[in-house]
């Protein structure tokens, strides 16, 4: 059995398969790039930055009575859990 023609046929089959895959992938890439153009015709708009409210300190939002009650509660807790 002669191995030369068999190897030649295998080489041709390999090159043909590689060429077919290369052409298929090239067409696929081209089509995907063309579809990108039709996907979103409007350009993205810049979003407005929403200003964050300024953080207020606890003394601005709580009444003095509430602050005093919390202070007493914390002191009692610390005394009991020593």
Mean pLDDT of the chain, nearest integer: 87
Residue 25 confidence (pLDDT): 98
The pLDDT of residue 77 is above 60: yes
Q: What is the pLDDT of residues 9-23, one digit of tens each?
A: 999 999 999 999 999
Phi, psi angles (nearest 5°) of residue 29: -65, -45
Rounded alpha-carbon distances, angstroms, from residue 14 to 24, 27, 36, 62: 15, 20, 33, 80
Residue 43 confidence (pLDDT): 66
**pTM as predicted:** 0.45
Q: What is the pLDDT of residues 34-62, one digit of tens each?
A: 988 887 666 667 777 788 877 666 556 78
Q: How many other C-beta atoms are found inside a 10 Å radius of the C-beta of residue 62?
A: 14
The dihedral built from the CA positions of residue 37, 39, 34 and 23, taken in this order, carries a sign that is: positive
Domain ranges across the chain: 1-40
């Amino acid at each position: 059995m002669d191995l030369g023609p068999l190897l030649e046929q295998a080489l041709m089959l390999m090159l043909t398969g590689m060429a077919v895959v290369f052409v298929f992938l090239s067409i696929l890439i081209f089509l995907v790039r063309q579809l990108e153009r039709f996907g979103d015709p409007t350009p993205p708009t810049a979003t407005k930055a929403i200003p964050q409210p300024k953080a207020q300190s606890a003394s601005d939002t709580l009444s003095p009575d509430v602050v005093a009650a919390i202070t007493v509660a914390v002191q009692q807790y610390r005394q009991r859990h020593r």
